[in-house]
Amino acid sequence: MKSPLLTLPGAVPAEGVDEGVAAHYGDLFREQRALADGTGFVDLSHRGVVTVSGPERLAWLHLLLTQHVSDLPPHRATEALILSANGHIEHALYLVDDGETVWAHVEPGTQEALIAYLESMKFFYRVEVADRTDDIAVVHLPAGSIAEAPEGVAVRETPYGRDLFLPRADLEAYAEKAGPAAGLLAHEALRVEQHRPRLGFETDHRTIPHELGWIGTAVHLQKGCYRGQETVARVQNLGKPPRRLVFLHLDGSEVHLPPAGTEIRVADDGAEGRRIGFVTTSVRHHELGPVALALVKRNVPVDARLLAGETAAAQETVVEP
């Protein structure tokens, strides 16, 4: 779905899964600095929006999600995952309950598969699941923003900012009040700086929550009754995950960023050394320079110098080995 904000001056469309919104509006670092200072907004209207209503919505979702939501207070934001039977991450939901309806935004294009799964699990519960992507747009206001949310709009307030579930018909009018617009690349740069994983970027078909530090923020360890719980409990109590998320400072003299999927090796082993991980997201940050998130084998020494392709990289620990 193409955002009407792509007509704003300087807008350059994003590509791939984020197609439909602006990657930037002509000045990537200015846009990053604006978000870091708490001004402007990010158009996330390409993301899927799913609602769950009905008197048993929280009790029902509690049985399906990794997060404890049976007693979720109105207007408190949370994150949750849906896992496979083997504990691999299938969906990531960013949700809030407004007292009558649970609102969730999800990765672009994943809402149909999510809704199909939810519908298959309704049984006799009094719940209604709806795809609201066509009529609701997600807008992100950065932490510290004093921009007001329109009355009656569901809001997720987090340490990183506020996500507004805005009627899509109001998107252009709201953008005129909430500007300046910042593109998705600026939003992604701050996400990487904050070490926050993203489904489909930091995950592959075998990712488990422990590898990305999603324990606590999206996975509640004091609840049961959800698919994949056995894997979560086993890793938590008896072992360690096979991989861990790291933050990389990349050699700033390189012209090109190593793209997602670039193989990582220990620098002392040289370019022909054993593959020990891969880049998941790489960005240019307005203060830190070129940085990235990556998944590496758990036993890689935390002080090991790395190579991302041909680019030298120093790691910071995100998930402890």
Domain chopping of the chain, boundaries: 2-45+133-192, 241-320
pLDDT class of 263 with cuts at 50, 70, 90: very high
Please identify, in words, the CATH class of the domain defined by 2-45+133-192.
alpha beta
Let me know: does 184 contact 18? Beta carbons within 8 Å: yes
pLDDT of residue 83: 98
Quickly list H helices, the chain: 28-36, 57-64, 111-120, 171-178, 184-193, 209-212, 229-238
CA separation (Å) from 266 to 249, 250, 281, 295, 298?
A: 14, 14, 19, 13, 13
Superfamily of domain 241-320: Aminomethyltransferase beta-barrel domains (2.40.30.110)
Across the chain, what does the average pLDDT equal?
A: 96
The pLDDT score that the predictor gives to residue 21 is 98
Q: What is the pTM of this model?
A: 0.96
Overall average pLDDT of the 107-133 stretch: 97
Q: Are 227 and 219 in contact (CB under 8 A)?
A: no
**What number is the average pLDDT over the span 49-77?**
97
Which pLDDT value is given to residue 179? 83
Q: What is the pLDDT of residue 271?
A: 80
| Whether 274 contacts 265, CB under 8 Å | yes
Question: What does the pLDDT read at residue 170?
Answer: 97
